[in-house]
Amino acid sequence: MTRLRVHCFSISIDGYGAGPNQSLEQPLGLGGLSLHEWIFPTRTFHEMQGEEGGTTDRSDDFAARGFKNIGAWILGRNMFGPIRGAWPDEHWKGWWGDNPPYHVPVFVLTNHPRKSFSLEGGTTFHFVTTGIHAALQQATEAAHGKDIRLGGGVATIRQYLRAGLIDEMHVAMAPLVLGSGEHLFGDIDVCKLGYQCTEHVPTPDATHIVIAKTR
């Protein structure tokens, strides 16, 4: 059965998944890049960059899980690019260049239509204007029995979480505070929605927490 999974989503101690003032120069907002320091040294991240080497510790174990048995991705529009409003043109192809690390169909939530296009390595971007349920249905069909990874950002994860559609969610809590930005769990009663913590692993650079829907 196809599951909807979140992996490697970094948050601050005070619960922010992105800092304020996001822009092309600061796509994760002020201070947001620091949330991800735990993943940069890992072998999995090095492989995503087409590089060799990297650590093979517990953090790498969590990073690697996010690519196992994934048949499709869902992204919010900000995870695809910094452009707001109607697409001025179709030149922007995403943050990762010509060979992004998805290698499967990717469904981008947006209010503005755009034609699908394919890049190297098996990644095809599709743009869904009919909401989170439609994106999940299309991704499920494209995944052919494999799971779907929900990449974010914060607002997109919150929509799926409120709807009780996420089956498993890995967050990496970085040892820092942001003070403001986009809060991940604010005003969402995850216990009432049936989620419980199923794994908790502290490491020097982040505390890895997995919550899953148990009912």
The model's pLDDT over 110-144, given as tens digits with 9 standing for 90+, comes to 999 999 999 999 999 999 999 999 999 999 999 99
pTM: 0.95
Q: Give pLDDT, residue 97.
A: 86
How do strand 168-173 and strand 147-152 relate by DSSP bridges? unpaired
Whether the per-residue pLDDT at 215 is higher than 80: the answer is no
Rounded-to-integer distance, Cα 106 and Cα 125, Å: 5
User: In Å, how far from its chain's centre is CA 77?
Assistant: 11
Does the domain at 4-16+28-86+95-213 match CATH 3.40.430.10? Answer given as yes
Output the six-digit token pair for 142: 């494209």
**Domain ranges for the chain:** 4-16+28-86+95-213
Whether the per-residue pLDDT at 95 is higher than 90: the answer is no
Q: Give pLDDT, residue 128.
A: 98
What is the pLDDT confidence band of residue 38, given thresholds at 50, 70 and 90?
very high
What is the pLDDT confidence band of residue 90, given thresholds at 50, 70 and 90?
confident
Residue 78 C-beta-side C-alpha neighbours within 13 Å: 17
